[in-house]
Amino acid sequence: MRFKFLIFIALITNVLCAQNKSKYPLYPNPVKIPIYLSATFGELRNNSFHAGVDIKTGGETGKKVYAVADGYVSRIGVSPWGYGNVVYVTHNDGYMSVYAHLESFNGKISKYVRNKQLASKSFRQSLFLEKDEIPVKAGDLLGLSGNSGSSGGPHLHYEIRDANQHPMNPFFFGLVIGDNVKPTIKGIAIYPEEKSSVNGSENAVFFELVNENGKYTVKNGEIKVNGTVNFGVSVYDKADGSDNKNGVYSIELFADKRLIFNIVFDKFSYDETRYVNSLVDYKKYIDDNIRYVRTEVDEYNILDLYEEKTDGITLKEGDRVNMKYVMKDYWGNTSVVNFTLVGDKPLKEYAENQYSRAYYRVDGKSETDVYLDGFVAQIPEKAFYRFEYILARQLDTIPNIASDYAYILGTNDIPVQKNIKIMIRPAEKYADSKQLYIVSVDKKGKFGAQGGKMTDGMICTNVRSLGTYALAVDSVKPAIKPINFRDNTKIINCKRLKMTITDTGSGLDKYDIYINGKWVIGAFDSKNNLLYYDVDENLKMGKNKMEVVVTDGVGNETRRSYTLIRENPKKK
């Protein structure tokens, strides 16, 4: 009883906390189950901030999902990737709620989507609706929770957006969780600027911390600094009853009690979401899969999450500055790390940046074109977050490519904001091939499909990361493998026919299913390479011909035909 009482008090406290912070409408929960989260708003993700919260569904699909306020269905999405099956509801108060990774829609939405799929002969849909097409009331069933799209496991992704389509923290709108857990600070980093040092090093230094109930100190004591330095911190948060490592709500940095940096994860624009790559120490993330939030703000970083910005701290010999990081979750749980900077002597020598003619100087103020034998890259202005030197050279040691060389364009630890157009000329023996596509080549020599179309004798595509690129030939057709049926299968109680479809080269592009010559909806689960057809009225009693057509990125096509015999279940 005492435990239940404490939980009750914690929830009431959290509700009052949320209400005090919020000037927004308070909505009921979108699911009628206890709320535990596997991800919070603003969490740092690959190339994006998390735009909502992920509500756990007990490792199961099929939980009922309800509209949180009156309004109308303004958008519906169906995709093998991203949000999968998703419903957007625009509310009468001007806000929008989003419900993603659904297993299925309610009857009215399902019928609407099905008609659009049949009309366009496409499983994938991005539908925008008028106000009077599918109105909803608060509490109306929208569908069932699932694991569709790029979901990593069964859950409901739930968002709130304002009238400008900017995602907002759902905690503002009455979503409540039990959380009495302080954030965990994994480490801090100090980054010396040019002609500066930290503990005698010109490079970034990462510090381990000692924790005593949310009060952290640097393991090795005082930190010696000369010149100007910036800072970084790695932190995560947990909640009651959950082991998920989620994001925090705010990060503050003080220098001698003066607030010099503050970021609050309350609202952002989708135009800004990729700037997460500028916020974090991207090289550290690529090298060690750890995200440090940096205080330094790059020249072309337009993030609006910053409440306070800093130009760094400058120390000379004899100076002393007391620093304090403060991490908070939405419910006020707080962790602090204190550390002291002590002014040090300047280094006797500083390394000089030496860049050979193989490097291109990219200042971001205009387009930069890179030319190599058989290769062109067009880097638009502000493609990067700051001034960069980009290595560009040919590589003749990569086997099984269809270009004269592989081409190094920078390194993958430099983040890219905008698309870079690259063009590669085929080797002479492949000049007339229709099966060419651009690949990225990783450190182990593994190819990653990047697409591409022939234009003026070169294969062209857009990329959003730096690395090594080349051409490859895809002469292998996609594979189709039935799972729960085969040719001349009797269909009696089977409600779903399933098959795997795969491609080892340029990737899957199209997939179609025909029953007796008529196109039917073939749903695709990209995570599991699963294509399936839900048996409907198109599969008649008696013999039927099912044809499956799968096409890859360069047009290689595989067709498979199966005779299916539909019979009534035997009566007992």
pLDDT in tens, 95-110: 999 999 999 999 999 9
> What is the DSSP code (8-state) at residue 405?
S
pLDDT for 464: 97
pLDDT tens figures, 437-459: 999 999 999 999 999 999 999 99
pLDDT for 9: 41
Residues 417, 421, 426, 430: is their CA dihedral positive or negative? positive
Pairwise CA distance, residues 456 & 478, whole Å: 28
> What is the DSSP code (8-state) at residue 401?
-
pLDDT tens figures, 249-292: 999 999 999 999 999 999 999 999 999 999 999 999 999 999 99
pLDDT for 21: 53
- Is the pLDDT at 177 greater than 60? The verdict is yes
- Is the pLDDT at 2 greater than 80? The verdict is no
Residues 6+ apart with CB under 8 A from 384: 300, 362, 364, 414, 415, 416, 417
Of the candidates 63, 22, 70, the residue with the CA atom closest to the CA atom of residue 267 = 22
When pLDDT is cut at 50, 70 and 90, the band that residue 519 belongs to is: very high
pLDDT for 353: 79
Kindly report the pTM of this predicted structure: 0.93
pLDDT for 303: 96
pLDDT for 216: 97
pLDDT for 225: 98
Residues 6+ apart with CB under 8 A from 190: 198, 204, 205, 207, 223, 225, 229, 230, 231, 232
Exposure on the CB side of residue 298, measured as CA atoms within 13 A = 27
Please name the amino acid found at residue 191. Y
Write out the two tokens for 299: 């020249």
> What is the DSSP code (8-state) at residue 332?
-
- Is the pLDDT at 215 greater than 60? The verdict is yes
Of 178-182, 183-187, 348-352, the one with minimum mean pLDDT is 348-352
- Is the pLDDT at 1 greater than 90? The verdict is no
- C-beta of residue 188 within 8 angstroms of C-beta of residue 339: yes
Three-state secondary structure readout of 109-151:
HHHHHHHHHHHHCCCCEEEECCCCCCEECCCCEEEEEECCCCC
Mean residue pLDDT across the chain: 95
pLDDT for 270: 94
pLDDT for 22: 54
pLDDT tens figures, 494-514: 999 999 999 999 999 999 999
Pairwise CA distance, residues 558 & 194, whole Å: 58
Alpha-carbon distances, residue 282 vs 46, 192, 230, 372 (angstroms) = 10, 16, 15, 27
What is the percent of the chain with per-residue pLDDT over 70, rounded to a whole number? 96
When pLDDT is cut at 50, 70 and 90, the band that residue 355 belongs to is: confident
pLDDT for 16: 45
Pairwise CA distance, residues 2 & 15, whole Å: 20
What 3-state DSSP class applies to 284? Answer: helix
Q: For the chain, how many residues are written?
A: 572
The pLDDT of 227-255, averaged and rounded, is: 97
- Is the pLDDT at 125 greater than 90? The verdict is yes
pLDDT tens figures, 394-411: 999 999 999 999 999 999
- Is the pLDDT at 486 greater than 80? The verdict is yes
- Is the pLDDT at 323 greater than 80? The verdict is yes
Pairwise CA distance, residues 437 & 163, whole Å: 41
Residue that has been written with the tokens 């492949």 in this structure: 430
- Is the pLDDT at 14 greater than 70? The verdict is no
pLDDT for 279: 98
Pairwise CA distance, residues 173 & 94, whole Å: 13
When pLDDT is cut at 50, 70 and 90, the band that residue 569 belongs to is: confident
The pLDDT of 114-136, averaged and rounded, is: 97
Pairwise CA distance, residues 13 & 7, whole Å: 10
Structural domains in the chain, CATH included, are 2-173 (2.70.70.10), 184-343 (no CATH), 359-473 (2.60.220.30), 479-566 (2.60.40.1220)
The pLDDT of 31-47, averaged and rounded, is: 97
pLDDT for 221: 84
